[in-house]
Structure 1
Amino acid sequence: MFRYLPFFISLAAATNLYATHYDGNIYTLSLDSGNSLSITLSLKTCGDAPSWLSLDPSTRTLYCSDHSGNAVINGSLTSYSVGQHGRLTELAKTTDVGAAVHSVIYGGKHGKNGGSALTTFTLPLISDEGPLQILRYQMPQPGPKPQQDAPHPHQVILDPTGSFLLVPDLGADQVRVYAIDHHSGHLNACPALNYTAGSGPRHGIFWKSKPSHWAQAPVTMLYTVSELGGHFNAFSVSYASSGCLAFRETQSFVPYPGGQLPAGATPAELRMVGSSIYASIRFDQGFPPNDSLVTSAQLPNGTVKLSQITSSYGTVPRTFAINKKGTLVAIGDQASSNVAIVMRDPRSGELGDLVASLQVGEPGQASNSSTGLSSIIWEE
């Protein structure tokens, strides 16, 4: 079932990446033409616990979310201009509600989630300007798993039309759905996508088929991974006359060889390029002592099948990013606090050899999710 395919690439010039670490720094990394990865700059910024980066390439603006807040103490959102050689200059910093773990740019606005709330801001960000909208979450009672003591939104997803925002909520066992008012930027609640109790949906991605003379109407799919239940789920998405989204589950399986995760292992981030879907698996030690990435291949009908498992070249792969050419994957391993660069075949989608690996900041603790490397992003 699993095959290995060696292949080679060449890099014409140095490429920058940015990484956040819970030590309070944003690190600028450089991958040169000799496949040497190094830290070129570091900036103490973005609060006590920088957790996520979003880049707007059209304005060369980087946004950093601070995870240090909670239900009582506010975190922050900071913007930076991206200069030559990866140099960052702070533009603005404003207070956010709770501990933010993810963000996305939508319709000229900026949406961001953390703690038990979703917060939106008007762009460009202005220092100390208040949020555009705060949507606070509550649960009538705790969920069945210890991690479900309260709502825990983990991501903000923009649909292919740019008209809807989705928020996977690990605590509430649902993906919250919002229709975007493009005039005001405000979010209007739609019926949520509900999961089996104890699932804990964490990350998701949309896919839309390309127009074809032989196909009927384009197909839109939502793929998600659930941290607590360990499942990959596929949903067919339709745009209802009510102005909201409708979902029909088409597939559910455990994205791991043999259909069962090792004890304590959990899926984390999910990404897709072409017809290949990638999920990071934490705490499985599939390549001792390192954890894993699993690759699935999408079939023409929108369903997927597992095709490959490879090393994350570190422990607790919280995040990973694929470059625009589709030739390299940067893996952010949280506990070992290293960035691993892995080859990717853009035709088959298969992952290959390790290109480079670099320690960034101090290693974290596998038992403490607020230590170690927190995110990685390409400057493209």
Structure 2
Amino acid sequence: MSGRQAGRAHIGSFTAAGGRGIVTADLDARDGSLTVLGSTDALPDPSYLAVADGLLYAVSETPDGAVAAFRTDTVPPALTAPPVLVDGAGPTHVSVWNGHVLTANYGSGSVTALPLRPDGTPDGAGRDVLRHTGSGPHPQRQQAPHAHQIVPDPSGRWALGVDLGTDSVRICALTDGRLTLHREAPLRPGSGPRHLAFHPSGGYAYVLNELSPTLTVCRWDAEDGTLKPLTETPILAGTPRGDAYPSEVVVAPDGRHLWAATRGEDVISVLSLDPTGETPTLTTTVPCGGNWPRDLALDPSGRFLYAANERSGDVTWFTVEPGTGVPVRGGSVRVPAASCVVFDA
């Protein structure tokens, strides 16, 4: 590896829509550019990825629903063991927490925890499923629970499950391999929460709503595991021209800015944060560089922002202006049906 390379990116994509599965690319430290090295379609529809302890974890967003671990010291990444069923349909998110891999299962409205063996592979025999209940007012999208994300909080004590179907965030604990519901935080009916991200201080969480282009600011108390909604702010200026479905929110490591992607409008919104992190202010929007930005990600340095544009089949990279937080387009790489971008730690 030459001195200009800063590691590798792994890009998930939908094989059912012409994607190549998991695509691996070199990351250039000078300009953030990506160079594709190879791909593997060993797992169908690996729509979301996570990196932990030198392994790459991927969900299979299929009706049967599965998760698998890959070695990252090979190109393309190599399966460590056969995929493991999650006992949930259409998993859309994966994370690693307290010796377990977690999946949010959109189709079945549930969250799954699978213990990890010493070699990092998921153990299906110890699988535990927490099933959500409830609904929301949207006649098509909220007839039932739809867990869209499950993410550990910064303290490592809790995992937060964001449910689009029930307009709520569920705070979960993990005891002896079993997921338990600690508390459920209701959000505005019909907002359709999709993903959340934490402020670097750990005191605030920003919930991005898919069914309305808004961001809900919540106070997070890790001591007793409570999430309190404070305000809801628009992420678009004016009325959307047509469909507008926010997808992902990312917070700057220094806590000065956050970014949100919106499909349909095909833009990245830039919001500045006050010193406490409690008050976001929309400053501008910029084109995402393609069509239908399903995911946003910062590289490990925090200097470059990446949009996985699903329908145009590319990943576009941007250099983030330090003072304003505005992303400036640098280039793109072809990745059909791109859905997610993660980086080796």
The two structures have a TM-score, normalised by structure 1, of 0.80
| CA contact 1:160–1:207 (8 Å) conserved in 2 | no
Q: Distance in 2 between matches of 1:142 and 1:129?
A: 32
Deviation at 1:281, TM superposition (A): 1.0
CA displacement, residues 132-161 of structure 1 (integer Å, 9 cap, x when unaligned) = 31112233x663331112211111121121
Give the residue type in structure 1 aligned to 2:234. V
* Correspondence for 2:80: 91
Give the residue type in structure 2 aligned to 1:99. G
Deviation at 1:338, TM superposition (A): 0.4
After superposition, where does 1:161-310 map in structure 2 within 5 Å?
161-181=155-175, 184-209=176-201, 220-239=203-222, 244-258=224-238, 260-273=239-252, 274=254, 275-284=256-265, 291-301=266-276, 302-310=278-286
Q: Distance in 2 between matches of 1:128 and 1:179?
A: 19
Q: Given the superposition, is the C-alpha separation of residues 29 and 162 from structure 1 closer, same or farther in structure 2, using an over 3 Å criterion?
A: same
| CA contact 2:212–2:244 (8 Å) conserved in 1 | no
| CA contact 2:32–2:317 (8 Å) conserved in 1 | no
Q: Choose which of 23, 27, 30 in structure 2 pairs with 1:27.
A: 23
Q: Distance in 1 between matches of 2:124 and 2:32?
A: 42
**3-state SS of paired residue (2:300):** coil
- Higher Cα Rg: structure 1 or 2? 1
Q: Distance in 1 between matches of 2:207 and 2:299?
A: 21
* Correspondence for 2:36: 39
Give the residue type in structure 1 aligned to 2:181. A
CA displacement, residues 315-372 of structure 1 (integer Å, 9 cap, x when unaligned) = 11000210111111121001111011111134543312x22211213xxxxxxxxxx2
| CA contact 1:107–1:185 (8 Å) conserved in 2 | no
Alignment identity in percent? 23
| CA contact 2:86–2:127 (8 Å) conserved in 1 | no
| CA contact 1:314–1:336 (8 Å) conserved in 2 | yes
CA displacement, residues 138-190 of structure 1 (integer Å, 9 cap, x when unaligned) = 33x66333111221111112112111111111011111111233xx2432212
Q: Distance in 2 between matches of 1:221 and 1:236?
A: 5
Q: Choose which of 330, 339, 344 in structure 2 pairs with 1:374.
A: 339
Q: Distance in 2 between matches of 1:188 and 1:35?
A: 41
After superposition, where does 1:93-108 map in structure 2 within 5 Å?
93-97=83-87, 98-108=89-99
Give the residue type in structure 2 aligned to 1:245. G
Q: Distance in 2 between matches of 1:160 and 1:308?
A: 28
> Does 2:55 correspond to 1:61?
yes
CA displacement, residues 15-40 of structure 1 (integer Å, 9 cap, x when unaligned) = 42111111161111234468664321
| CA contact 1:297–1:307 (8 Å) conserved in 2 | yes
* Correspondence for 1:82: 72
> Does 2:329 correspond to 1:334?
no
* Correspondence for 1:325: 301
* Correspondence for 2:145: 151
Q: Distance in 2 between matches of 1:129 and 1:304?
A: 41
| CA contact 1:325–1:346 (8 Å) conserved in 2 | no
Q: Distance in 1 between matches of 2:102 and 2:45?
A: 19
The two structures have a TM-score, normalised by structure 2, of 0.88
CA displacement, residues 74-127 of structure 1 (integer Å, 9 cap, x when unaligned) = 22111011115x441211221122211101111122111112210001113547
Q: Distance in 2 between matches of 1:119 and 1:247?
A: 21
Query: Which stretch of structure 1 is more off in the superposition, 13-22 or 193-202?
Result: 13-22
| CA contact 1:96–1:131 (8 Å) conserved in 2 | no
| CA contact 2:271–2:281 (8 Å) conserved in 1 | yes
Q: Given the superposition, is the C-alpha separation of residues 187 and 128 from structure 1 closer, same or farther in structure 2, using an over 3 Å criterion?
A: closer
Question: How large is the RMSD of aligned CA atoms in angstroms?
Answer: 2.2
Deviation at 1:265, TM superposition (A): 0.8
Q: Distance in 2 between matches of 1:254 and 1:298?
A: 14
- Which sections of structure 2, spanning at least 5 residues, go unmatched? none
Deviation at 1:238, TM superposition (A): 2.8
Deviation at 1:206, TM superposition (A): 1.8
**3-state SS of paired residue (2:141):** helix
